[in-house]
Structure 1
Amino acid sequence: MLSHIQQEEAKLDAMQRVWQTSRRATTMSFFEDADAERELFALPRQNSCGGLITRGQCASPPPCTPALCADYGQEFNETFQEVKTVQDGTTKRPHRKSTEKPSSLLLDASECGDFPARYIIAPVEAHQFPVCGVYIDNRVIPGFKYRVRPLPAVGEVVKRKHGLPCMFGGRALTLQSIGRGYARRFTFEADENHLNDNDNYFWSDNRPEGYAFELELISEGDKFTIFDANREAQGTLEVVKLEGPQVEISGSMSAHSVEKRVRVKLIAKVEFFETGVAKPTPVTGVAVAIKQARTPHAVVTRVSNVMIKGHRYSLLPGVAKEHRRATVRGADLGDVPTKYTMAGLEACEIPVVGTYVDARVVPGFHYRVRPNDRSERLFDGRTLKLLSIGMGYAKRLTFQPDSLLEPDNYLWSDSHPDGLGLEPRAVHTGMRFAIVTSDGQRLGDASVFRADMAQKEESMERVPSESHPGHYAIEKRIYVDVMCHVRLACMDSEEHLMNICGVAVCRKEPKSNDSYVVRVENIGMDSQLKLLFAYNHTDITFVPIVVK
């Protein structure tokens, strides 16, 4: 009895020295004492069968099976090799075989409550749902959007990064119905120009290799409103690019609806109300979509657990202007230290409320005025030039009058408790421009036909004036999107109606009451001519034609 206790204590002492040494983050060898190593392997151990083994072999009865002893010895040796240190201090670990992806996937339709048919197809990814013959994955439900990718044959090597190309031009379409019978017909939504002759369908047995369905709840171009933990709107978000597949993590079904939760990762143009600047930002979250009974499409209700620059938010679909908030402070302009928070301001509008008049509101430039509590603009929606801004607690904003004898185009900054939104305007209907290349060659003329789209100010700065040395002019850069009649010199008198967008450079010289358009640069047009200019590395500019 005493000898047995001594053996146990000696074994425990040796093992403790080994364990304590292995926990040290030093470059010393594992066994500081060579005697401890010899003692460790000299001591017998008892296996699960009751026998004592040393180095994988039985040492005393009762006997055990050789296979059990060999497995135990191999496990003991591998454990020792994992922690044994070489002379230079590095740790050797045995090479472990990584789990390889299976070469095939067995589908049993009886598991889905269908015919007891079995198929062997190529393996699918974690975000894909297999469909082959009568086997249809239970997660493939009409009303949701899927991207369908044909599967290769078993054992076939596909060099493409994501496998074979997707059907329907790589688009994710809404699944409308799944037919019945041995061969199931999958019908997807039709294209806009082919509502009466829908070609977006196929049968599940058209391809013996099968198909892989990829769920897509959020698509490029979708817009959301950002909310914080207090359910207060903080900004807007527009999806620019999808980063990776959308993996379904859970789903539930009831008698009236089907709900799916999908993990998403994307690049979005995020604009916070406080900054007013939209920047492409990585965004992750979990999208929740619900398909109600007797409704053709599933609807994304929210995106939860959203991470934007290390902060947690939630998203609701759509952008409502009443959520857009702007906080202004009069002390920032050296005025009365008042503070106002305006809700519902458009992205292109400049705030004016109470005693606060934004510094970007400058006499000599043109504006459209809208009370913040309504959609109708003042002055019949016309664009008027601002003549002056009064002084005092409530500033009087005087615009260009219709009659010099009875001027009535004016208002005070505190006339509307909810504030005013002033939209700067640079290009108007009827303006004419000369289309000029970067080397000064004139290509033709353009006349503005419509200028209904909003024009947003991008920047404002003071630049030295060439006509008045020592003084500074005010220069604004305003983004414009207009419709123009374009007549090119190489096409004689033929006119083309084009959508033109660009950045208009407006300037107001010192000691002058009027602003003027210097040029419109960074031109974009919905015409093949843009491709020709880009191919020739030629930039075009619209220069105003002054009518004398």
Structure 2
Amino acid sequence: MESFIEEYISSVNAEDVNEEILLERRISPYATLRPGDLAALLKLQSSIPLSGSALKSGWHHGPGGLETHVEEILKREEQGFSSDESGNEGVKDEELRDVVCRGDEQNHVPAVYTVRGLRRHEMPVVGVYVDKRVCPGFRYRVRRAGSNRFFFQNEARTLESIGMGYGKRLTFTGEQRNNNENYFWSDSEPEGYAFSIQAVDEGMKFLVMDVDEAVVGEGVVSRIHEPQEETTMTAGKDGVTKRVAVTLTCSVTYYHRHHYGLIDMMVHENQETISGEAVLHKSRKSRKASLVSVEGVFLQRVGQCKFIPDC
């Protein structure tokens, strides 16, 4: 747990380190004190250089304290994060929004939070509040609100579980099943987190099916253009279904059918940019959601059609 906090939760810049703010974030009332946090605080009890106001509060100072510790965390943070080319840099101010989150709407304590700088496709998680669209079994990219850098080297990871209680533990898939450190608590970061769903990846292969349910070609996703934005979610006895708006560039190869039933591949490929809705479904018995189709696609040669994953 401590290694994950050091790698992903620290967000200060080396030039702007304010010792009082750092200590406030570590023991903030937004955060739930856990065994790992207590151990980390005890490590900082030796000589810590602080400002005059902090000294009045009873803190002592000396060499090799907080500043050295912060520098080490920042070095590891730079290695563990990846910037997103669609990050806040270059995003117009009107495309960012502030979201007010109310705990009482989810039958929790009546806490009110404001998560700032969310993009239109992102869902907030802060304090006791977890957006109802954030569901285990679906893949998400996660960043800290106010930062352009994403967790897990900019990869989308499957959310395995959301813990109980006020500060909810959010656990994502990791490389090791017996020692998974890919988790954090909803109340660990006072500014909150931004979650964005991931339905389609580059390199995915699809079969192209026309309105008559006939397979007329195949395609490979070569580029994903815009953020993938969840449009609807339904939950029932058979599980959870989400629809996600996507815009993709695909290399499409069309089939040529002979009158006696044989199929030839046409020699040339078409690069086409399409928009549609990816349909994701997670059954009650399944731990992960699966991509069912990309619907509402229009191709010049075929017209209306849908993409079916070619596993």
The TM-score with structure 2 as length reference comes to 0.65
1:485 paired with 2:251, answer yes
**1:336 aligned residue (98, 109, 115):** 109
Q: Specify the alignment match of 1:7 in structure 2.
A: none
What is the letter of the counterpart of residue 244 of structure 2?
I
The aligned amino acid for 2:144 is: P
Counterparts in 2 of 1:349-360, with a 5 A limit?
A: 349-360=122-133
Q: 1:540 aligns with which of 302, 305, 310?
A: 305
Superposition deviation, residue 472 in structure 1: 3.2
Structure 2 partner of 1:474:
240
Q: What does residue range 125-136 of structure 1 map to in structure 2 within 5 Å?
A: none
Check the 8 A contact 1:321/1:344 in 2, yes or no.
no
Match of 1:414 in 2: 187
Post-superposition shift, 1:319? 3.7
CA deviations on 1:349-385 (whole Å, 9 max, x unpaired) are: 0110111001111000010001111111111110110
| Map of 1:388 onto structure 2 | 161
How far, CA to CA, are the matches of 1:512 and 1:323 in structure 2? Answer: 35
State the alpha-carbon separation in 2 of the partners of residues 403 and 349 from structure 1: 28
Q: Superposition pairs for residues 363-512 of structure 1, below 5 Å?
A: 363-451=136-224, 453-463=226-236, 471-490=237-256, 492-512=266-286
Instruction: State the shift of 1:322 in Å.
Output: 8.3
Segments of 4+ moved more than 6 angstroms: none
Q: Work out the CA distance in 1 between the residues paired with 2:108 and 2:246.
A: 32
Q: C-alpha distance in 1, partners of 2:133/2:104?
A: 16
1: CA distance, partners of 2:95 / 2:209 = 42
Q: Is the 8 A contact 2:96 2:120 kept in 1?
A: no
Q: Is the 8 A contact 2:108 2:166 kept in 1?
A: no
Q: Distance in 1 between matches of 2:199 and 2:180?
A: 24
Q: Name the CA distance, whole Å, in 2 between partners of 1:492 and 1:436.
A: 16
| Aligned positions of 1:274-285 closer than 5 A | none
Looking at structure 2, the residues matched to 320 and 402 of structure 1 have their Cα atoms a distance apart, in angstroms, of 37
C-alpha distance in structure 1 between counterparts of 2:205 and 2:218, whole Å: 7
Q: Measure the CA separation in 1 of the matches of 2:144 and 2:285.
A: 31
Q: Are the aligned partners of 2:141 and 2:198 in contact in 1 as well (CA < 8 Å)?
A: yes
What is the rounded CA distance, in whole Å, between the counterparts of 1:446 and 1:481 in structure 2?
Answer: 14
* TM-score of the aligned structures, taking structure 1 as reference length: 0.37
Q: Is the 8 A contact 2:197 2:228 kept in 1?
A: yes
Paired letter, 2:101: V
Deviations 1:209-250 (A, max 9, x none): xxxxxxxxxxxxxxxxxxxxxxxxxxxxxxxxxxxxxxxxxx
User: How many residues end up aligned between the 2 structures?
Assistant: 213
- What is the DSSP-based 3-state SS (H/G/I as helix, E as strand, rest coil) of the residue aligned with 2:114? strand
Q: Could you tell me how far 1:321 is from its partner in structure 2?
A: 5.7
The Cα shift of 1:346 comes to 0.7
Q: Structure 2 CA distance, aligned partners of 1:348 and 1:436?
A: 28
> 2:161 and 2:227 mapped to 1: Cα distance?
24
Partner Cα separation in structure 2 for residue 455 and residue 406 of structure 1: 31
Is the 1:477–1:505 Cα contact (8 Å) retained in structure 2? yes
Q: Could you say which structure has the higher helix fraction?
A: 2
Alignment partners' CA distance in 2, 1:392 and 1:342: 21
1:410 to partner: Cα distance: 1.2
Is 400-409 or 370-379 further displaced after alignment? 400-409
CA RMSD of aligned residues (A): 1.9
> Larger Rg: 1 or 2?
1
CA distance in 2, matches of 1:409, 1:383: 12
Indicate the percent of aligned positions where both proteins have the same amino acid. 38
Helix, strand or coil at the partner of 1:344? strand
Q: Tell me the CA shift for residue 323 of structure 1.
A: 5.5
The whole-number CA distance in structure 2 between the counterparts of 1:430 and 1:319 is: 30
SS state of the match for residue 331, structure 1?
helix
Alpha carbons 1:480, 1:502 under 8 Å: kept: yes
Is the 2:298–2:305 Cα contact (8 Å) retained in structure 1?
no
**Residue pair 2:95, 2:120 contacting (<8 A) in 1 also:** no
The 8 Å contact of residues 95 and 119 in structure 2, kept in 1 or not, is answered as no
Is the Cα contact below 8 Å between 2:204 and 2:221 reproduced in 1?
A: yes
Provide the C-alpha distance between the structure 1 equivalents of 2:157 and 2:110, rounded to a whole number of angstroms. 30
CA separation of 1:511/1:336 partners in 2, compared to 1, >3 Å: closer, same or farther? farther
- Which protein has greater RCO, CA pairs closer than 8 Å, 6+ apart? 2
**1:321 & 1:398 partners in 2: Cα distance?**
32
By how many angstroms is 1:342 displaced?
1.5
TM-superposed CA distance for 1:441, in Å, is: 1.3
Q: Per the alignment, do residues 353 and 540 of structure 1 end up closer, same or farther by CA in structure 2, a change over 3 Å counting?
A: same
Structure 2: 5+ residue stretches without partners: 1-90, 257-264
